[in-house]
Chain A
């Protein structure tokens, strides 16, 4: 599903330049649930943003579902993001003046699907994350865990190939984190490929594979015995 080879990324600030990714190679197969770990500043978010086409690598190749991701203009990148990717953010990033339902329907709006279909599908995914009764509430009326579930429903709405989650449980307490992880595991069980950036070992243990980053390089990449979140909930 994902192949990256010799990925480099530097940030330039004035005369200083910071080499953040120093040659990343890895592959993710369809249906994997991968966690990316590493100390703060090791480049996890940078890597995820490049995978998400929100940012561009300086060097190296990136192939997503057999499509080479190279020299995209913003229009095509937006189209690829819409079709291929679902994002889950640490701070949820819901649009606060839109109802839960409208938030979930937004990727479908950008896809150009008709209103009725949008509402139906958004409702379906809200139901899937257990928030159908909250569909007309604004994000400000929801708890952190609920917001993240709306965000997950939104990420799923356009039926993307890959979900990218940057510390999805970073703003949540342990119990809510496990609930969210349970949801993510469920989605993965249905075959969706998911990448999760996290700091927390217990969260990482709930994925199937842990990639460890240090100073811009992968220092460890191993399969793990998946811990089901449901046993904590």
Chain B
């Protein structure tokens, strides 16, 4: 269909009136630019917001104990309680759908009092007692050394993995951290690794100022006995954590003698649900982006169709001449179709390229000015570009259809009579 002669014919025709060709092309150029930019911005917003979730495995929820709000089995309301280590075992046994059940205890926290000392240096850091699988729930980059393992857990080893903020606070520049000791609430822990949480946005500082300690050593050193403050639960990929939530809560309530309808006794945060909500929001935003972009693009296409109609009208006589010389109606039609197709695709490609340029500049400015809250790395995937191209091809054909038909509607003799 696209021989070199065809090309020449089409380019010649488009070249014959450059200004008109340019104006026609501009509508589609603009439409596709807007479409791609809208999708890229939506994407940037999405990247920004989801980065706020950090790297935490999204099929997860967190559970912690609060105060009871109902009396139950002779126990008063307003009672404080703790989860116990055997709750963890029970959950693991009762819910094979759970991939990880990580208990955690915490000390200190952001803006807390100084709790860590090394020589003359002190700092206020968050200290977490965790199990080794926690690193699978929230991936982090181990910069030096290693994360602790089950042998550390079983041996109650007093070791710790510290964030970059901790390194900065307690060590001189270039001073090696591995193998040194830091004193947490008066107890010495050996540093066996340093880490950085990759891809986290909002809580970067907080993450960097965190110290991880094996759960067992933590409990022993700080007298937590078998108490557990906090549980991170991750389900296997084929089960939604949200669907397990009611049963988990029920189990925990009955184990901790909490009234089955006491919803305030156990706090929880369902990461999957929150993530799903955000994802849903962005699906909607994406649809809106497509919709608005497609509308703008459509006006560009109507423009092409319109101008092609005028072109066909202006060229009525030429078309009559071509038919007198032996052009079949289909030859004429396909030429008009291809003119509009090429015009659409060409201007669309320029539009996509232009939009890509704008996005690049945007990213460049973002990179050089530091991160912006809830906005990161606006981009469009190859699949979006392909979708846009398919839209272009289809719309190019649609745009050419009416003009192409009108081009051959007239009898050649009438077309030739037109002045």
Contact = CB atoms under 8 A, between A and B. Distances in A.
Contact of A75 (B15, B318, B330): B330
Given A49-B413, A54-B416, A78 B329 contact: yes
Given A54-B412, A55-B413, A93-B416, A78 B323 contact: yes
B13 interface: yes
Nearest to A114: B5
Given A93-B317, A97-B15, A97-B16, A74 B416 contact: no
A98 B12 contact: yes
A74 B329 contact: yes
B247 interface: no
A74 B416 CA distance: 15
A171 B323 CA distance: 23
A159 to B, nearest CB: 12
Report which residue of B15, B323, B326, B408 has the largest number of chain A beta carbons within 10 angstroms of its beta carbon: B326
A87 B330 contact: no
B295 to A, nearest CB: 35
Interface centre among B321, B322, B324, B327 (most CB of A within 10 A): B324
A93 B321 CA distance: 7
B326 A54 contact: no
Contact of A106 (B15, B322, B412): B322
A17 to B, nearest CB: 17
A110 to B, nearest CB: 4
Contact of A107 (B9, B15, B326): B326
Contacts of A223: none
Interface in A78-92: 78-79, 81-83, 87, 89
B325 interface: yes
Contacts of A107: 325-326
Contact of A54 (B13, B330, B411): B411
A54 B413 contact: yes
Interface in B302-326: 317-318, 321-326
Contacts of B4: 115
B329 A82 contact: no
Interface of B is mostly: helix
Q: Which of B9, B331, B416 neighbours the largest number of chain A CB atoms within 10 Å of its CB?
A: B416
A87 B325 contact: yes
B411 A78 contact: no
Contacts of B323: 54, 74, 78, 81
A35 interface: no
Contact of B326 (A49, A110, A115): A110
A134 interface: no
Interface of A is mostly: helix
B154 interface: no
Interface in B10-26: 12-13, 15-16
B299 interface: no
Contacts of A74: 323, 328-329, 408
A110 B411 contact: no
A95 interface: yes
A154 interface: yes
A55 B411 CA distance: 7
Nearest to A56: B411
Contacts of A110: 322, 325-328, 331
Contacts of A81: 323-326
Given A52-B324, A54-B413, A78-B327, A115 B13 contact: no
Contacts of B13: 97
Contacts of A93: 317, 321, 324, 416
Given A75-B330, A95-B318, A110-B331, A54 B324 contact: yes
Interface string B380-419: 0000000000000000000000000000100111001000
A210 to B, nearest CB: 25
B20 to A, nearest CB: 13
B328 A75 contact: yes
Interface string B14-41: 0110000000000000000000000000
A89 B326 contact: no
A29 to B, nearest CB: 24
A79 B328 CA distance: 7
A87 B317 CA distance: 14
Contacts of A83: 326
Contacts of A158: 326
Nearest to A164: B324
Contacts of B416: 54, 89, 93
A74 B318 CA distance: 17
A110 B16 CA distance: 20
Contacts of A97: 12-13, 15-16
A80 to B, nearest CB: 8
B317 to A, nearest CB: 7
Given A49-B413, A109-B5, A115-B5, A75 B325 contact: no
Nearest to A53: B412
A143 interface: no
B338 to A, nearest CB: 15
A111 interface: yes
A210 B16 CA distance: 42
A20 B321 CA distance: 24
Contacts of B324: 52, 54, 81, 87, 93
Contacts of B325: 81-82, 87, 106-107, 110, 154
A92 to B, nearest CB: 10
Q: 7 closest Cβ contacts across the A-B interface?
A: A82-B326, A97-B16, A110-B326, A54-B413, A55-B413, A78-B328, A107-B325
Given A49-B413, A78-B323, A115-B4, 9 more contacts: A52-B324, A55-B412, A55-B413, A78-B327, A79-B328, A81-B325, A82-B325, A83-B326, A110-B325
10 contacts: A52-B324, A78-B323, A79-B328, A81-B323, A95-B321, A97-B13, A107-B325, A107-B326, A109-B5, A115-B5
